[in-house]
Amino acid sequence: MTVLLTLRQLSVALQQKPILSDVNLTLAEGDILGLVGPSGCGKTTLLNTIAGFVEQHKGSISIAPDMVIDANNLIAPEQRNIGMIFQDYALFPHLSVYKNIAFGLNHIDKAEQATRIDTLLSLLKLTDYSERYPHQLSGGQQQRVAIARALAPQPKLLLLDEPFSNIDARLRNELMLELRSLLKKLGITAIFVTHNKDEVFSFADKIAVMHQGRVLQSGTPIDVFHQPSSWLVADFLQIGSWLPVIEGNDECFTAIGNIVKDTIADQRKDNEQQYLLLKPQHIALMPEGEVNVNIEYVRITEHGFHYLLSSLTDDKRLSFEQLSFYSHHVFAQGEKIAIEILPHNYQLFSK
């Protein structure tokens, strides 16, 4: 596994305001990295910094084999050999599909250009549209043109800024799979930005979660999903619900039962309110038990019924409002039921 991209202590400030601080990341050749985070966290800026549209003022970007970019050696975007696909695709409206794709190929001879474009056109099922103009295409077709245009100069690295946000939900999954298999087939290294966690989980090999200009955690989606490094990561990725916890000597108390302390992963800060990260699969119905939650809200999903539960406890420190719970049992809104926490590797966090 060769490393293609390394970011070291990358910092960016715009108008004296820090946008990125001390970002460290590595990306292996052929991997697809998903950058997630709430809006305004700096993920698009990070993408633009890598592409060269935003100037870094500290740290370095290394692109294998020998390009090192730092504040003293800012390489112009056009010399970085990095492809980019924009949220709005940014197709040139005055050029046909064919000429859009040919735009980045002016350095190579016409014959080679033609073969390359034809290959891309057929790969992306655009052959019939090559003479059309962007405004004559559907959203999905436009995106494919944007992909073809970005891939045509065979960039070392492909950057995608929220590539699926303008596509309606039904088409999105299909396109995501299509694009992923294409990138894999061509062995292209890519970074894409999204605020949708589902996109990351289905599209990326690696994930990096950002918050306020920092990378909170990076790794494979499975690792991050199983071992979120902080409350923010878990919360943004909506890995589970938060259950307030009071620590005892051997046990911890919650509004729906106690948990043994030994198996708790240590992510907490002392002297702050602790929360148990509780995934739906670790909650079970307790048909005989004493009722401890109220059904606040019912939703029907493909995984069965999804309930949001609120606690019935009088202890303010333990009460909660929205606990996600899936079940095949039918309950009515306002019904009171009993649930319990299944034993697992408990993870406690503080905000």
Partner 1 sequence: MSSGNKNKRWKFLSWLIALALITPVLVMLFSGIGSSTELFSHLWQTVLPTYISNTIQLAILVVTFSILFGVPAAAIISQTNVMGKKYLRWLLMLPLAMPAYLVAYLYTDLFDYAGPVQRFLRASFDWHSPLDYWFFDIRTLLGAAIMIALVLFPYVYMLVRTAFECQDQHLIRASRSLGYSLTQSFMKVSLPLARPAIAVSASLVLMETLADFATVQYFAVNTLTTAIYDTWLEYGDLSTANAIASILMLLILFTVIAEQRARAGQRHQSNRLNNQIKEKKLSVAQHFFAAGFCWLLVIAGFILPFLLLIMMALDYATLEQLNELLSSGFNSLQVAFYVASITTFIALLLSLFKRLHYSKWRDHPLQISGFGYAIPGTVLAMAMLATLGPIDHWLNGVAKLLDITAPGLILSGSIFAIILALVVRFAAIANGTITSGVEQIPASLDLAPASLGVTLNKSIPKVHLPLLKSSIFVAWLLVFVEAMKELPAVLLLRPFNFETLSTQIYQLISDERLEQGAIGALLIVLFGLIPVVYLNKKESSV
Under the criterion CB under 8 A, does residue 107 sit at the interface with partner 1?
A: yes
- Which of 68, 63, 67, 44 lies closest to 54, judged by CA? 44
- Which residue is listed with tokens 């993870």? 347
x-marked contacts with partner 1 along 157-176 as a string, rule CB under 8 A: --x-----------------
Which burial class, exposed, middle or buried, applies to 22 when counting CB atoms under 10 A from its CB (0-12, 13-18, 19+)? middle
**Residue 65: cis peptide before it, omega within 30 degrees of 0:** yes
Residue partners of 273: CB distance under 8 A and separation at least 6 = 244, 317, 350, 351
Specify the stretch interacting with partner 1 by CB under 8 A; choose among 90-98, 197-205, 218-226, 229-237: 90-98
Contact 280, 326 (CB under 8 A): yes
d(CA 199, CA 193): 10
The least CB distance from residue 282 to partner 1, in Å, is 44
> From the list 17, 110, 135, 185, which residue makes contact with partner 1 (rule: CB under 8 A)?
135
- Which of 234, 197, 198 lies closest to 216, judged by CA? 234
C-beta of 150 vs 252, nearer to partner 1? 150
Under the criterion CB under 8 A, does residue 148 sit at the interface with partner 1?
A: no
C-beta of 74 vs 260, nearer to partner 1? 74
The least CB distance from residue 106 to partner 1, in Å, is 8
The least CB distance from residue 210 to partner 1, in Å, is 20
Under the criterion CB under 8 A, does residue 94 sit at the interface with partner 1?
A: yes
Q: Which DSSP string do the residues of 31-75 spell out, in sequence order?
A: -EEEEE-STTSSHHHHHHHHHTSS--SEEEEEETTTEEEETTB--
- Which of 30, 35, 34 lies closest to 4, judged by CA? 30
What is the amino acid identity at position 72?
Answer: N
Under the criterion CB under 8 A, does residue 149 sit at the interface with partner 1?
A: yes
x-marked contacts with partner 1 along 52-81 as a string, rule CB under 8 A: xx----------------------xxxxxx
Contact 323, 342 (CB under 8 A): no
C-beta of 97 vs 264, nearer to partner 1? 97
> From the list 24, 133, 180, 202, which residue makes contact with partner 1 (rule: CB under 8 A)?
133
Residue 76: DSSP 8-state: -
User: With CB under 8 A, what is the number of residues at the site for partner 1?
Assistant: 33
The least CB distance from residue 91 to partner 1, in Å, is 8
C-beta of 71 vs 265, nearer to partner 1? 71
x-marked contacts with partner 1 along 24-53 as a string, rule CB under 8 A: ------------------------x--xxx
Q: State how far Cα 328 lies from the chain centre.
A: 30
C-beta of 79 vs 220, nearer to partner 1? 79
> From the list 34, 42, 59, 83, which residue makes contact with partner 1 (rule: CB under 8 A)?
83
Specify the stretch interacting with partner 1 by CB under 8 A; choose among 98-106, 223-231, 269-277, 289-297: 98-106
Hey, which residues between 301 and 340 contact partner 1 (CB under 8 A)?
none
d(CA 65, CA 333): 60
Under the criterion CB under 8 A, does residue 110 sit at the interface with partner 1?
A: no
What is Dmax (Cα atoms) for the chain? 78
The least CB distance from residue 147 to partner 1, in Å, is 12
What is the chain's alpha carbon radius of gyration, rounded to the nearest angstrom? 24
C-beta of 131 vs 321, nearer to partner 1? 131
Of all helices (H) and strands (E), which one includes residue 202?
helix 197-203
Under the criterion CB under 8 A, does residue 283 sit at the interface with partner 1?
A: no
- Contacts with partner 1 by CB under 8 A lie at 48, 51-53, 76-84, 86-88, 90-94, 103-104, 106-107, 133, 135, 149-150, 152-153, 155, 159
